[in-house]
Structure 1
Amino acid sequence: MTKPQETIGFIGTGLMGHGMAKNIVEKGFPLTVIAHRNRKPIEDLVSRGATEASSYEELASRSSIIFLCLTGAPEAAEAVAKLRPGLQPGSVIVDCSTGEPTVTMKLAQDMEAIGVAYADAPLSRTPKEAWEGTLDCMVGADEDLFARLEPVIDTWAGKIVRVGGLGDGHRMKLLNNFISLGYAALYSEALALSRKVGIPIEQFDKVIRGGRMDCGFYQTFMGYALEGNREAHRFTLSNAYKDLRYIESMANAATVATPLTSSVKNAFAMAMATGGDGSEDYVPHLADFVARANGLD
């Protein structure tokens, strides 16, 4: 007997979510979306074949799998509460946000009580890859649930790794972001020091690019620092700071000393405290805040 096709709900059509939802509907899955602040992505998705729901309850009632692509744990918890009246037993909520594992486990427990499954499937890379359908995705789910979700995730991800069980996707995402944001803090400080000792950024880049210390993150970071492209890596400083606080919280619960994590967090805290809390202040712009703290333009 052929299984019925999954019907997809999507909440959070922002920088990442718009491209993800676009790929879901264009690759053949029925999609229901809901507006938040910006109607433009919703109008675009409807033009591609999606249906707009008038409420979270309606979206839940129409969907067998619901993706959340939100800022963090509080936003995910709020969305789940709004969805709850319309959720059908046997449906699944997939949290693609960078969440806090303890909140993920609590939400999953609450959903289990009403027959709804929960999985965490956070992302890596940028809105460019979201639009192209080539994001990285790290999934926390049991094997059977992963098998059900994988064909849908495959519409927007080029690399999918089942990390382990529930919560492990969010734990791995925090580890991933610690490394990437650590790079950002390291590059920012190195560039400030480079300028202070008289080595132009162009010469700095010629040495690093193409060598053993080059990587994809370095190249997008330098898209701003070297080339002046403010949108080279559209991940906000405020979201980065939030993620680093989540990482510290996870480490505290595991009784792990984190001198490097705390140093990286403090670099972003300094940027936030000196004006870097806008919606268009992105991770590569950390270099400007570190430069100014060292007396550079």
Structure 2
Amino acid sequence: MKREEFEMAKPVIGFIGVGLMGHGMAKNIVEKGYPLVIMGHRNREPVEDLLKRGATEVKTPREMAEQCDIIHLCVSASPQVEEVIRGESGILSSGKKGLTVIDCSTSDPVSTLQIAADLKAAGMDFADAPLSRTPKEAEAGTLDTMVGAAPETFERIKPVLECWAKVIVHLGEVGLGHKMKLVNNFISMGYAVLYSEALAIARRSGLTVEQVHSVVGQGRMANGFYETFMKYAVERDENAHKFTITNAHKDMRYLANMANSAGAVNAIQSVVKNAFAAMEASGQGERHVPMLSDFIAEMNGLPGDWR
């Protein structure tokens, strides 16, 4: 097959949500030679960059669906996913049989399963492929993803996932990806609350943040999340982990809903959720997760910005 014929054989990929994570993912898709269609974003900078790289732009999800074979969604939460799918000019309104939708957002699994059923009834396929790691890995094309999809759907979309993910785990049926993502985020956000409280106790007891880090950072308790969290706590790097308190709280609400649906006891998760709820309620929802350490410090009568 000639290269021109090979390029023509590639499916057309759509991408809605070219923000912090989505821009890097979309960039890697178009750079791997896939035709790429994007939808306008409130921040025009990533849109214009992708257009320069060869992407084309549409104004509605319906218009995108009419042009594409596979559409990625990388938006903030389930209400936004539902609007893109079910809205007046949404994907379902296109009637595009054979279309595959990949939701890379961190969504509520209850909503995910309902959306998947709606798409199936319209002759479309669905996969949930939420993300792990940071915008840095998105730009590098080395994200992790956990996928819920029928086996035939997974095999069809896997070459596209490989454009932006280094670790791809197919967990099984639709919904398992979003469920696993919430469990994963519970662990990471639990670390954030634990580290924040530990640092506050240490400081109240006469230890410094640097002293804590000099021991924990070189021991068995260190991990990737610890490193980015402490890059803010020690170095005050506000861009160490670009994940907002509002998003963390949203994810913990979704996990609480999932636990309730499963009849699971979630005493510790409730404490974790409430830590983020308190910080968001204080008007600090747009701050990043490692900054929870400042909030917990202030609750303990300590200056948040300890420097």
The code of the aligned residue for 1:138 comes to M
Determine the C-alpha separation between the residues in 2 that align with 1:89 and 1:5.
Answer: 18
- Provide the residue aligned with 1:249 in structure 2: 257
Residues 59-116 of structure 1, C-alpha deviations (whole Å, 9 max, x = no match): 1111100000011111100011212222521110000000111111111111111100
Correspondence for 2:165 among 157, 164, 167: 157
Determine the C-alpha separation between the residues in 2 that align with 1:179 and 1:162.
Answer: 20
Determine the C-alpha separation between the residues in 2 that align with 1:186 and 1:87.
Answer: 48
Unaligned 5+ segments in structure 2 are none
SS of 1:269 mapped into structure 2: helix
Give the deviation of 1:54 after TM superposition. Answer: 2.7
Q: Aligned pair 1:63/2:68, yes or no?
A: yes
- Provide the residue aligned with 2:45 in structure 1: 40
Residues 6-59 of structure 1, C-alpha deviations (whole Å, 9 max, x = no match): 110000011111111111101111100011311111100001111111322221
- Equivalent residues in 2 for 1:93-242 (5 A)? 93-242=101-250
Q: Aligned pair 1:284/2:300, yes or no?
A: no
Determine the C-alpha separation between the residues in 1 that align with 2:24 and 2:147.
Answer: 19
Are the counterparts in 1 of residues 145 and 169 from structure 2 also a CA contact under 8 Å?
yes
- Provide the residue aligned with 1:11 in structure 2: 16
**Stretches of 4+ aligned residues off by more than 4 angstroms:** none
Determine the C-alpha separation between the residues in 1 that align with 2:95 and 2:68.
Answer: 8
- Provide the residue aligned with 1:268 in structure 2: 276
Are the counterparts in 1 of residues 70 and 102 from structure 2 also a CA contact under 8 Å?
yes
SS of 2:163 mapped into structure 1: coil
The code of the aligned residue for 2:216 comes to I
The code of the aligned residue for 1:282 comes to H
Determine the C-alpha separation between the residues in 2 that align with 1:119 and 1:288.
Answer: 38
- Provide the residue aligned with 1:23 in structure 2: 28
Determine the C-alpha separation between the residues in 1 that align with 2:222 and 2:124.
Answer: 44
Give the deviation of 1:146 after TM superposition. Answer: 0.6
SS of 2:126 mapped into structure 1: strand
Are the counterparts in 1 of residues 92 and 122 from structure 2 also a CA contact under 8 Å?
no
Determine the C-alpha separation between the residues in 1 that align with 2:68 and 2:126.
Answer: 14
Correspondence for 1:49 among 12, 36, 54: 54
Determine the C-alpha separation between the residues in 2 that align with 1:275 and 1:57.
Answer: 36
Are the counterparts in 1 of residues 41 and 47 from structure 2 also a CA contact under 8 Å?
no
Residues 171-211 of structure 1, C-alpha deviations (whole Å, 9 max, x = no match): 00000000000000000000111111111111100101121
SS of 1:232 mapped into structure 2: coil
Give the deviation of 1:273 after TM superposition. Answer: 1.4
SS of 2:159 mapped into structure 1: helix
CA RMSD, Structure 1 to Structure 2 (Å): 1.3
Q: TM-score, normalised by structure 2?
A: 0.94
The code of the aligned residue for 2:179 comes to R
Greater Cα offset, 261-270 or 55-64: 55-64
Determine the C-alpha separation between the residues in 1 that align with 2:58 and 2:274.
Answer: 41
The code of the aligned residue for 1:243 comes to D
SS of 1:203 mapped into structure 2: helix
Residues 128-159 of structure 1, C-alpha deviations (whole Å, 9 max, x = no match): 11011111100001111111111101111110
Q: TM-score, normalised by structure 1?
A: 0.97
SS of 1:37 mapped into structure 2: coil
